[in-house]
Amino acid sequence: MTQFDFDTPTPEWLRARGTGRWHDVDPDVIPLWVAEMDFPVAPAVQAAIEDVVAKQAYGYPRDNGLKEAWASWAKQYEGLDVDPRNVSLLPDVLTGVRLAIRTYSPAGSPVVLPSPAYMPFWEVPGLEHREIITVPMISGPDGLGTLDIDGIEAAFAKGARSIILCQPYNPLGRVFTADELRPLADLAEKYDAFVISDEIHGPLVPEGRTVPFASVSEAAASRSVNLSSASKSWNLAGLKTAFVTFFTDQNRQAWKNGVHELEAEGATTVGMAGNLAAFTSGQSWLDEANAYIHANAVWLHDELARALPEAHFQVPQGTYLGWIDLRDAGLPDNAGSWLLEHARIRLNDGPTFGPGGAGHARINLATPRPLLIEATGRMVEAITHR
Ligand SMILES: Cc1ncc(COP(=O)(O)O)c(C=O)c1O
């Protein structure tokens, strides 16, 4: 028996939200792109936000217990030891990625980026005048891709001193194991490099738990920061609240010395209240959301296997994003644009994720099942009759 509603949102209701996923999308198009959820917000989170509104708490934010709440959630659900004094607020995770590149790697040193990668990761290093050394993901034990440790070592040997890690991995849906992550920590130690671990999708795992990078070894803890927020998992991205977690006093101090408070401020009272409620009272909703998303992914997998076997899709282990390989279906490199034109569904175009993206499209599975069924039907129909 489920307690929460994921099935009923209609396109009209979602369009009225006016946020990125449904904004500027033609009325006949089903948008399965921008990483927002098409679900009503968790009731406990919504109530906390309404409380802020009722109190008109729109002044400058102050500590509301969020750091402690994150620390207990991280311990309980990810086995990660967080000292709330080693957490610093941010407006969003991408700001944290940028500031971490600057703080924890020498000026001018290149940044390693596994590919395909979340689109803005291609832009952020440039804001710090850094070059990117691309290291394509390689095929992993379960077909969803894994880190190319030899390729990353070669990049460090060429002078890169930081890497942007995404755990769970957007867009491939991998949740890396400790055994996969430990060699990266060893490399960071060997080359005096730093791992910027974006774990914003951390709570989005239907089974098991996300392995936080910092938890895999001492080297990992001392050579990384963890960037996170409730914003993806509880759908609060517009409320602008995220945080960075340090695992050594030295790294906390380096951030304090290197980052001016004006660069990191921007978390909001509404966002902090939403994040607090998510970590303290949002888990039963998230468990159901994860199960619903997983069931969507299984349904999509089975349906494509039945109706469009040339499309290859594996059920993601984490995130609500899926990666569809349409190369054997004969679609052009920009498969997402083709689907927009011919099927009137909007997925993210593979090439925007960089090398390895051609002929792929990223699908957002945090969507009511009736919409997913309609969108998949359109995809199958358009490709079958092209
Ligand atoms: C891996 C990853 N990092 C960061 C972000 C953006 O987070 P923020 O809005 O907090 O910068 C996203 C959004 O989809 C994401 O998928």
Neighbours of 354 (CB within 10 A): 20
Euclidean distance between CA atoms 105 and 118, whole angstroms = 21
Question: The domain 47-281 is classified under which CATH number: 3.40.640.10, 3.40.50.720, 3.30.365.10, 3.40.50.300?
Answer: 3.40.640.10
Please state the φ and ψ torsions of residue 112, each to the nearest 5 degrees: -85, 135
Quote the ligand 1 centre to 201 CA distance (angstroms).
Answer: 8
Ligand 1 centroid–CA 97 distance in Å is: 10
- pLDDT < 50 positions in the chain: none
Cα–ligand 1 centroid distance for 185 (angstroms): 23
The pLDDT, as a whole number, for residue 1 is 65
Q: What is the DSSP string of 167-199?
A: SS-TTT-----HHHHHHHHHHHHHHT-EEEEE-
Q: Hey, is 37 helix, strand or coil?
A: coil
Distance CA 52, CA 259 (A): 29
Which of 37, 198, 241, 244 for mutating ligand 1's site (highest number of atoms within 8 Å of CB)? 198
Strand duo 321-325 + 360-364: pairing: antiparallel
Q: How far is CA 305 from CA 140, 238, 275, 326, 364, in A?
A: 21, 36, 38, 13, 18
Protein residue whose Cα sits closest to atom 14 of ligand 1: 35
**For 150, phi and psi rounded to 5 degrees?**
-65, -40
Mutate to test the pocket of ligand 1, among 170, 244, 353 (most ligand atoms within 8 A of CB): 170
Q: What pLDDT is recorded for position 143?
A: 81
Q: How is the chain split into domains, by residue range? A: 11-41+283-384, 47-281
**Rounded Cα–Cα distance for residues 155 and 133 (Å):** 6
Q: How far is the CA of 59 from the centre of ligand 1 (A)?
A: 26
Q: Is this prediction's pTM over 0.75?
A: yes
Phi/psi of residue 198, nearest 5 degrees:
-85, 110
Q: What is the pLDDT of residue 270?
A: 98
Superfamily of domain 11-41+283-384: Aspartate Aminotransferase, domain 1 (3.90.1150.10)
Which residues form ligand 1's pocket by a CB distance below 6 Å? 35, 92-94, 118, 166, 170, 198, 200, 229, 231, 237, 242
Asked if 233 and 201 count as a contact pair (C-beta separation under 8 A), the reply is: yes
**224 within 8 A of 332, measured Cβ to Cβ:** no
Q: What are phi and psi of 143, to 5 degrees?
A: 80, -5
Residues 6+ apart with CB under 8 A from 331: 338, 339, 359, 383
pLDDT tens string 58-88: 999 999 999 999 999 999 999 999 999 999 9
CA–CA distance, 153 with 174 (Å, rounded to integer): 21
